[in-house]
Amino acid sequence: MNIEQFKAELALHQIHLSDKQLQQFEDYYQLLVATNEHVNLTTITEHSAVYLKHFYDSLTPAFFVAEIRDTPIKLCDVGAGAGFPSIPLKIVFPEIEVTIVDSLNKRINFLKELVEKLGLTGVHLVHARAEEFGAAKSDHRETFDMVTARAVARMSVLSELCLPLVKVGGHLVALKATKTQSELEDAQKALKVLGGTIEADYDLKLPITEDERHIVVIEKNKKTPKKFPRKPGTPNKEPIQA
């Protein structure tokens, strides 16, 4: 996907990028590739692949979730790595307030440099495990309108990492690929226990490659019990099962 295709495909979804935003994406690409030479941020480095599989892919939630476009939401991105999906969303919808939580300080340092380079404001970067960030005594617990996660964990695990951060009435938006239906079936017990219900599973295919993608929207309809999330590492080792 070249820059013109990127711009045109987004325009089909009523997302129109300014010259400044296009330059921010290009600056993002350049810093990502330069940093990736000494910090492992991504296996995808070819220009057209980054634009399709990182930048465009990160913006797909906005095709389906109106509040991303229409509301100055408070968004937390768990395990964002090199900033996906929250930084592309922030570039396009600058009114969003973004908090990124990642467990690897090298990635947080890259994001600090990136935020400065792109001239972004309203971005908070936190070096922490999600289990600690959303713990019962955390000031951040149940304070976010939306929590996003992309390529972090299967839904039964992801729900325990993310739902404690979502305020009642807010949403967890998970960017998924294949096997989404089986993941959702396995996560039914966890979602019920943690206070979430499946609102939608939107499916789409990426342009050019036709790769399958799903945008899973979970509504938080009741408070998460204080014992969740459990201590770091436990959700992945012992997912909440039916």
φ/ψ (deg, to 5) at 194: -90, -5
User: Both tokens of residue 163?
Assistant: 């739902």
Q: How confident is the model at residue 242 (pLDDT cuts 50, 70, 90)?
A: low
Distance in angstroms (rounded) separating the CA atoms of residues 196 and 177: 21
**Known binding site: residues?**
79, 84, 130-131, 150
What's the average model confidence in pLDDT over 191-204?
A: 97
Q: Which two tokens stand for residue 95?
A: 């009114």
Residue 236's pLDDT band, with cuts at 50, 70 and 90, is very high
User: Global pTM?
Assistant: 0.96
Query: pLDDT tens across 124-161, in order?
Result: 999 999 999 999 999 999 999 999 999 789 999 999 99
Q: Give the mean pLDDT of 154-174.
A: 97
Q: Which residues are annotated as a binding site for S-adenosyl-L-methionine?
A: 79, 84, 130-131, 150
Q: Would the CA dihedral through 31, 112, 72, 205 be positive or negative?
A: positive
Choosing among 3.40.50.150, 3.30.1370.60, 2.40.10.340, 3.40.190.10, the CATH entry for 61-237 is: 3.40.50.150
CA distance 85 to 210: 19
Residues paired with 171 in a beta bridge: 146, 219
